[in-house]
Amino acid sequence: MNKISKILLAALLTGSSALAQDGDSVKSISAPKNWHQLDLATSGFNGISLDKAYSLIKSKKLRSNRILVAVIDSGIDTLHEDLKPILWTNPKEIPGNGIDDDKNGYVDDVHGWNFIGGKDGRNVKEDSDEGARVYNKLRTKWDGKEVVSENLSPADKVEYNTYVRARDKVVGSVNKEEVAYLRQLFPSFLKGDSIIRKELGKDEYNGNDLKNFNPVNFDAIKIKSLVLGISKANNSYDITNSQLIDDIKGQLRKADAAGNAPKEYRKDIVGDDETNINDRFYGNNDIMASTPFHGTHCSGIIAAARNNGKGVDGIADNVRIMMLRAVPDGDEHDKDIAIAIRYAVDNGARIISMSFGKDFSPEKKWVDDAFKYAEIKGVLLVHAAGNDSKNIDSTDNFPNPVYINGKGRASNVITVGASGDIKNGGLTASFSNFGKNEVDVFAPGVSIYSTIPGDTTYGNASGTSMACPVVAGIAALILEHYPKLTPQQLKYAIEKSAGLPKEKVTKPGTDEKVELSDLSKTGGIVNAYEAVKLAGTLKTTKQKEVFPKMTIKKNKLG
């Protein structure tokens, strides 16, 4: 259960009074909307020095090459004013004619593809947790059996251990009394939310919207207190009503899975053979669907049209975004991710941004093979580390670059934790996963302002989901001007140039102060200027000349 879930459940069980009364200690330190792009030395905010990077590029008179970035996510608002100009358009496809013009197996894949849609136009919105799917698949074979590990074959041993972990996750985490109370209170939560949405005149709102809002309805008052309390506890007022509702639904789905097989949301709609990785021509071309918030926000961070006087400026200025919808409200399926990666590679993407993750990966081999395919084809994969304040060196987090067969790891993957700012909560985000071996670098992921659904709408969101596209954007900016660099060189430039904090940081989920090098491989926070500068020194010939041994001797922040 992530931090929001824990606080949410505690709040609902106590009527939310334990979190925040109206106006109780509600403070927010104002930061520029583009703080994540600023330079520490000139602005005082721990951003990525983006303007400085562009000045360097201009001074070197570097030619800009267009880069295609694929975003595997929940969908995108194709009508947004800041995203329409930067959407990838398949040059070999004639829009709307119902014909697979480029003969790639996907009809009218103009701006990307939806791998969780049906040929009849329906789309998967929510789905079960992978742990529940794994538990219910294996429980018939292993439930209630006395198992002596030494007597099992290697394959059965792996399967049994997976079953035990899934059982503990699904059944062991369920408190029936708490869930019953949560189920009882949920209708009043929805009622209060409906009243607030109507009075505010918006379907999506967060803690900032509620600070000066004074409802009179009892249910609405409780919701306001709850949202502000969770915002305060997470040190972020960007958590939305939709996130909280999805979180409650997720907890109820988990509870249901403890005693029943999870609903097969995807199966009825998509209609493919999910057990067959070669059955890959499924889905539809509706990349907006009904869940575009997350993908819209991430895409804007990477490449929202720059210098057009509208909304926000993305990080990279010569990018096209390919949206691959494969992430529902719930856990994504390994097959969809693997096929989406292959689609992106086959259609020219040089970078793939992946802001999703889960605790189980029953078909990890398929994803590993897709990682290897991207590696061979020269494509960089950027992945969010996750938001559970956990050490992913010692707890499972998928997808990851470590191959399931134990034979090495993908060299084209950057795993990203979320950083913040000292003036607004600290250099490390309280929710971010970490790992000295498995998290490569940290990047801004707290209160990131970007595009959200609605033709002219913008807002903040927080998460390693936001830190991931920051890194993808920096990688795209480098590749625009140094297009012959390999994914390994891009990874090297971004990680080697990351700035080391002068002071210790807070270990997420605790009050403990540690070095950032205890939480990530590089011990640094990404910096676009330093990364572009370093990229300019890399050769594109022999790899031994390109990759001297990585050390922690880098730029000191500030």
Interatomic CA distance for residues 101 and 92, integer angstroms: 6
* Residue 179 pLDDT: 74
pLDDT in tens, 504-558: 999 998 999 999 999 999 999 999 999 999 999 999 854 443 444 444 444 555 5
DSSP 67-115: EEEEEEES---TT-TTTGGGB---TT--TTSSS-TT-SS-TT-SSEEET
DSSP 446-471: SSEEEE-SSTT-EEEE-SHHHHHHHH
Domain assignments of the chain as residue spans, ordered by start: 3-27+127-257, 35-125+272-546
Strand partners, 458: 451
* Residue 1 pLDDT: 38
* Residue 234 pLDDT: 66
Pairing of strands 319-325, 505-506: unpaired
Contacts of 522 (CB under 8 A, 6+ apart): 440, 441, 495, 496, 498, 550, 552, 554
| Six-digit token string for 208 | 């900032």
- Predicted confidence pLDDT, tens digits, the chain (558 residues): 344 555 555 555 444 433 333 333 333 457 899 999 999 999 999 999 999 999 999 999 999 999 999 999 999 999 999 999 999 999 999 999 999 999 999 999 999 999 999 999 999 999 999 999 999 999 889 988 878 777 899 889 889 999 999 988 887 765 667 777 778 778 888 999 999 999 998 888 888 889 889 998 888 888 888 888 877 776 667 778 887 887 788 778 777 777 788 999 999 999 999 999 999 999 999 999 999 999 999 999 999 999 999 999 999 999 999 999 999 999 999 999 999 999 999 999 999 999 999 999 999 999 999 999 999 999 999 999 999 999 999 999 999 999 999 899 999 999 999 999 988 789 999 999 999 999 999 999 999 999 999 999 999 999 999 999 999 999 999 999 999 999 999 999 999 999 999 999 999 989 999 999 999 999 999 999 999 999 999 998 544 434 444 444 445 555
Interatomic CA distance for residues 315 and 70, integer angstroms: 15
33, burial (CB in 10 Å: exposed 0-12, middle 13-18, buried 19+): middle
Which residue is listed with tokens 């399926």? 333
* Residue 240 pLDDT: 81
Which element (helix H / strand E) includes 381? strand 380-384
Contacts of 26 (CB under 8 A, 6+ apart): 20, 207, 211, 228, 232
* Residue 223 pLDDT: 85
- Taking the C-alpha atoms of 470, 474, 476 and 477 in order, what is their torsion angle to the nearest 10 degrees? 130
* Residue 158 pLDDT: 87
Interatomic CA distance for residues 60 and 265, integer angstroms: 53
| Six-digit token string for 318 | 């010569």
Contacts of 414 (CB under 8 A, 6+ apart): 380, 381, 382, 383, 440, 441, 471, 475, 491, 494, 495
DSSP 245-299: HHHHHHHHHHHHHTTSPPP-HHHHHH-S-TT-TT-----BS-SSTT--HHHHHHH
* Class of domain 35-125+272-546 (CATH, top level): alpha beta
**Chain center to CA of 443:** 13
| Six-digit token string for 289 | 């669907």
pLDDT in tens, 258-285: 778 899 999 999 999 999 999 999 999 9
* Residue 148 pLDDT: 74
pLDDT in tens, 425-459: 899 999 999 999 999 999 999 999 999 999 999 99
247 close to 387: Cβ distance less than 8 angstroms = no
Which residue is listed with tokens 């008052």? 221
